[in-house]
Chain A
């Protein structure tokens, strides 16, 4: 399963490099990719080279990173909260990022230049929301996971209320820009963004995947886990921190891409069983591949215009989620 997942990611990534208004042959792209690892020579023209390596490649890499992070964070949240409806936005990351981005986009104080400040404020807003959730939820250490989830719901509602107020107080052009950000997009992907997000995704995904064994223990509940020797509070703090930090970094750059974090772990659970030692690493590859495909659809289906990627993931995600729910009726895929 792991090997086939890697192959799927490579195929989807190559497909992502080949798809676009400018037709570039597969063989040329393959030769160019191979030449970048020091073997052979690229046969692409300078224009093709520019399109592949400055426009498409950062977009594909960013999609891979975002898809991997959101899927792993979603799976981790589902494990640590023992809740099948958990997704990476559970503790208010989305609402916080949305408020931060909206503040930047509507240019409060007129001192902000949007392209620079949007990701920074989105990141700050996301982290602020999670920290407030953690504090209100009883620092997450002493309280149970339900208290933390409810605190997340409250913080998300509060931040969304502020965000909606700011959004509605502005012109329709500004509202449109906020909506586009909220639906997510990889259109402005650059190597600079990739470099910003990369360390967060690598470290946070590594922490989450490494916590798979602890999440398996947690499946028997907090009390039994403690009696088995698991430092439940510390594990919860570490994995929630890693998931939230990685998610905040990703959404600050690509916006709020929904459904990936909830449906990918569920689909993987159907394929590999209920152990998080398998769910998390496979979700990483599946999520990465899925978001590259979704981005490919987003930029080709109404070409030369583009669909927000959040629309595509929701359009694909909703029916797939219904299918998964139906399959659950005939096969147990979630611990009751």
Chain B
């Protein structure tokens, strides 16, 4: 069953076409990552899937329910979002921030129930946030902050999470830690993940499926290994890419692609004059 079904989705802003007639299924319990060059429409696609951007045309179904028929509260119980640049309100504790994830469940007039609090504590413990649960959110490092934002999304108790560039700004260690954490949630809890990632190697290694976009259109979709090794990948980025197998893992290596004109302009790089 598809956790998210996107049918003929188009998003226009004025005359600009951000997404052009995309149809896509994200199978339940899998991790699907959207890749593509800047301006390909990755963020627009996942924001539409998360319900925070209205489509110009087409439909999005979450667990077979048409998103356009859901209000904010119903939607927040079906799908959670980790935005690219989350707002971190200084003065709020990590525990209170994670607790915001329960808003759709207890409503805006009622306080959190014992069950809500227990769920928040469970997520805090699961993501190893316990030792700074009472700290001000503004005092966290980048890696801790991203874990906290993921914790807020998990506290929504949805079966589907959408993440937009969740590891941008993190160092390599924290990138891997974060993606491992997410992978564990998919494998152990059956979570469905739709994310965007710029790093093609990490996208290929962690996601089950990849969706390649270019200029707002879906170019290729399928198992990660197939998409990473497809000729469309290099074509979409308009550059030369090599895929190297290291211990069974695909590593995408960009190759500097200098034309003869470029060589003539930079002869000193090769120690010879053309």
Contacts and interface: CB of A to CB of B under 8 A. Distances in A.
B68 to A, nearest CB: 14
CB-CB nearest 7 A-B residue pairs: A229-B104, A229-B76, A274-B91, A335-B89, A219-B89, A227-B81, A214-B108
B87 A226 contact: no
B52 A227 contact: yes
Interface in A209-244: 210-211, 213-214, 216-217, 219-221, 223-224, 226-232, 235
20 contacts: A216-B92, A216-B96, A217-B103, A219-B89, A220-B88, A221-B87, A223-B83, A224-B81, A224-B83, A226-B52, A228-B101, A228-B103, A228-B156, A229-B75, A229-B103, A230-B103, A230-B108, A231-B72, A274-B92, A334-B90
A239 to B, nearest CB: 11
Looking at A219, A227, A274, A335, the one whose CB has the most chain B CB atoms below 10 A away is A227
B50 interface: yes
A332 interface: yes
Given A224-B81, A229-B75, A335-B92, A213 B87 contact: no
Given A220-B100, A229-B77, 18 more contacts: A213-B108, A216-B92, A219-B92, A220-B88, A224-B83, A224-B86, A224-B87, A227-B51, A228-B76, A228-B104, A229-B72, A230-B103, A230-B108, A231-B73, A273-B91, A275-B91, A333-B91, A335-B87
Contacts of A235: 108
Contacts of B114: none
Interface residues of B, number: 32
B89 to A, nearest CB: 4
Looking at B50, B80, B103, the one whose CB has the most chain A CB atoms below 10 A away is B103
Interface of A: 210-211, 213-214, 216-217, 219-221, 223-224, 226-232, 235, 273-275, 332-336
Contacts of B76: 227-229
B118 interface: no
Nearest to B106: A213
Contacts of A332: 90-91, 136, 138
